[in-house]
Amino acid sequence: MTGSGKRELTTEKFLIIIIAAYCVLVSVVNPDFLQPSTFFDMAKSVAGTMMVACGLLLVVISGGIDVSFTAVAIFGGYSATRLMIYWNINNIFFAFAVSCAIGLGLGILNAVFIHATNMEPFIITLATSSLFHGTLTTFVGTRNIGSLEIPSSITRFGKARLFSMPDEFGGIMGLSVFFVFIVAALAFTWFILYRTMLGKSIFALGCSAEAARRAGFSIWKTRLFIYGYMGVLGGIMGMLYITEVNGCNPVTLVGTELMVIAAVIIGGARVSGGQGTVLGTILGVTIMYITDTTLIFLGLTSSWNNLFLGLVLLFSIIVTSYQERRKNRRMFIFTE
C-alpha cells in the first residue's frame, strides 16, 4: 500500500533503462545533447509540469483524477499579473502569493464538489475546468499580455539563476531559480506521503474509501488537503509559466493536462489508486520532456512523440498490471 514494493521498483528500473538508452541514442546522433546546458534547460522547462505532477500524484494515489489544474494555473497566473498591472505592484512575491491563493481557493472548491456530490473526481474536475476557465475569460479578461506590459519583476525572475558559467559557444548558461521549486515540491510531497499520517490516509483512501473511514481517517479532510495542495501547485505552475515565456495569454496551458496525467501514470501510479512514487513521477515527467524536445535531433517529426509516449505508457501499464497480479497470487487474492 505504501508504494515501495517490487512492482514499483520494477517499473522505475524499466523507465531508467528507457531514459538511459534514449539519451545514449540521441547523444550519438548529436554529441551536444549531453552538455550541462541540456540539464539547465530541462530544469527550467519542466518546473511547472513537475509542480502539478507532484500534486497529481497525490490525487491519483487517493483514487482520483484532476483535469482542472491547467485551468487553475492560468486562472491564478493571469489574474495575479493583471492585478500587478492594475495596482502598479511590481513584486514577484505578491504575484506568487495571489496566484497560490487563487489556486488554493479553486482547489478547495473541487474538494467541496467532489465530497458533496460523491461523484467521480474526473467528472467533477472536468466540469470545474470549464467553469474556472470560463469564469476567467468572462470576468477577468481575454487580452494577451505581451512582454512590454509584463512587470519587470516577472521578467527578472524568469532570467534569474542560482549560478552561471560559460557555455560551449562562448555565452553564459546557468541553473534557473526554478530548480528550487522543483526540489521543494518533490521533497515536500515525499515527506507527506511517507512520513506523515496524512500520507497514510491518502494511500488508504486510494485502496478503499470505506476501509479508510473504518480505520479512522477523515475522508473529507484528506480530500480537502489533496485538492487544496493541487490548487496551490497549480498556482505556482501558472506563475512559473508566465515568468518563463515573459508573457501571458488566458487561453494557454488548458488542454495540456492529459500529458501530465500520462507522465504520472507512466511513472507507475495506479489509476485506481493506492499506488505511486515520487521517483516514478520524476521519471515519467523526464521521459515526456526528453522525447518532446529531442526528436528533432533524430530527424523525426513531432508525431513520433505521441507514438513513443503511447508505447511507453502502454508498456508501463502492462508491467504494473502484471506485477499486481503476481502480488495478488502470492497473497491468494484472485480477481477477474
pLDDT in tens, 42-98: 889 999 999 999 999 999 999 999 999 999 999 999 999 999 999 999 999 999 999
- What whole-number distance in Å separates Cα of residue 327 and Cα of residue 81? 50
- What whole-number distance in Å separates Cα of residue 290 and Cα of residue 244? 18
Nearest to 92 by CA among 246, 234, 227: 246
> Which whole number is the average pLDDT over 194-221?
94
pTM: 0.90
304-330 b/e (C-beta count within 10 Å ≥ 16 → b): ebeebbeebbeebbebbeebbeeeeee
Residue 288 domain flag: yes
Q: Give residue 34's pLDDT.
A: 77
Residue 1 domain flag: no
Contact (Cβ atoms closer than 8 angstroms) between residue 280 and residue 319: no
Contact (Cβ atoms closer than 8 angstroms) between residue 70 and residue 241: no
Q: Give residue 3's pLDDT.
A: 45
Contact (Cβ atoms closer than 8 angstroms) between residue 203 and residue 63: no
- What whole-number distance in Å separates Cα of residue 25 and Cα of residue 297? 10
Residue 92 domain flag: yes
pLDDT at 319 over 50: yes
Q: Which amino acid is at 101?
A: A
Residue 121 domain flag: yes
Taking only Cα atoms into account, the Rg of the chain, rounded to an integer number of angstroms, comes to 20
Residue 257 domain flag: yes
Q: Give residue 168's pLDDT.
A: 67
DSSP labels, 266-297? HTT--TTSS---HHHHHHHHHHHHHHHHHGGG
pLDDT confidence band for 231 (50 / 70 / 90): very high
Longest dimension (CA), the chain: 65
pLDDT confidence band for 317 (50 / 70 / 90): confident
The tally of domains found in the chain comes to 1
Q: How many residues does the chain have?
A: 336
Residue 163 domain flag: yes
Q: What is the pLDDT of residues 237-262, one digit of tens each?
A: 999 999 999 999 998 888 889 889 98
> Which whole number is the average pLDDT over 96-121?
96
- pLDDT above 70 coverage of the chain, percent: 91
- Cβ–Cβ contacts within 10 Å for residue 67, how many? 21
132 in the Ramachandran plot: left (φ > 0), alpha (ψ -120 to 50) or beta? alpha
Residue 31 domain flag: yes
**Which residue has better confidence, 39 or 221?**
221
For Cα atoms 145, 129, 78, give the angle at the middle one, nearest 5 degrees.
Answer: 20
Q: What is the CATH number of the domain that holds 24?
A: 1.10.3470
Q: Give residue 328's pLDDT.
A: 65
Residue 148 domain flag: yes
Cell output for 36: 550541462
Q: What is the pLDDT of residues 150-176, one digit of tens each?
A: 999 999 999 999 988 877 666 788 899
Contact (Cβ atoms closer than 8 angstroms) between residue 55 and residue 69: yes
- What whole-number distance in Å separates Cα of residue 278 and Cα of residue 182? 12
Q: In the predicted model, what is the mean pLDDT of the chain?
A: 88
- The residue segments making up the domain with residue 290 are 6-328
Show contacts of 190-193: CB within 8 Å, 24+ apart.
190/278, 192/58, 193/3, 193/58, 193/61, 193/278
